[in-house]
Amino acid sequence: MTEIPQTRAQQLIGDFAPKLVELTDGVLFGDIWERSELSPRDRSLITVASLITSGSTEQLRGHLARAKTNGLTETELKEAIIHLAFYAGWPKAMSAIAAAKEIFPH
């Protein structure tokens, strides 16, 4: 029998908080991210901006990779970070650019 691959939430949280895994997989990524009213690209830009402004760099790495998959370019994401430096704060932008550098290595 083929094993079903685990979602990222299952990998990170597992049986420790199964309800949070269920909500993440079923509601957030199974419903909200799939709604047609915004494109995946737009959802990614909004999410990345929100994570930067809140200083959530641990979550940011995964969402920068998702943003790349959803069509945002390295230049667009760097420009968003530069723009947010003046609204979210310099330290948050510096942390975000370090995370982006991991996703877009040169």
Residue range 28-44, pLDDT digits in tens: 999 999 999 999 999 99
In one-letter notation, the amino acid at residue 81 is: I
The residue assigned the tokens 């877009």 is 104
Tokens of 70: 């959803």
Question: Which CATH number does the domain 39-106 belong to among 1.10.540.10, 1.20.1290.10, 3.30.930.10, 3.30.420.10?
Answer: 1.20.1290.10
Cβ burial of 11 (10 Å; 0-12, 13-18, 19+) is: exposed
Could you state, in order of their start, the residue ranges of all structural domains in the chain? 8-37, 39-106
In the prediction, which pLDDT does 105 show? 85
Look at residues 49, 58, 39, 43 and name the one whose alpha carbon lies nearest to residue 82: 49
Residue range 1-30, pLDDT digits in tens: 778 899 989 999 989 999 999 999 999 999
Look at residues 96, 59, 65 and name the one whose alpha carbon lies nearest to residue 79: 96
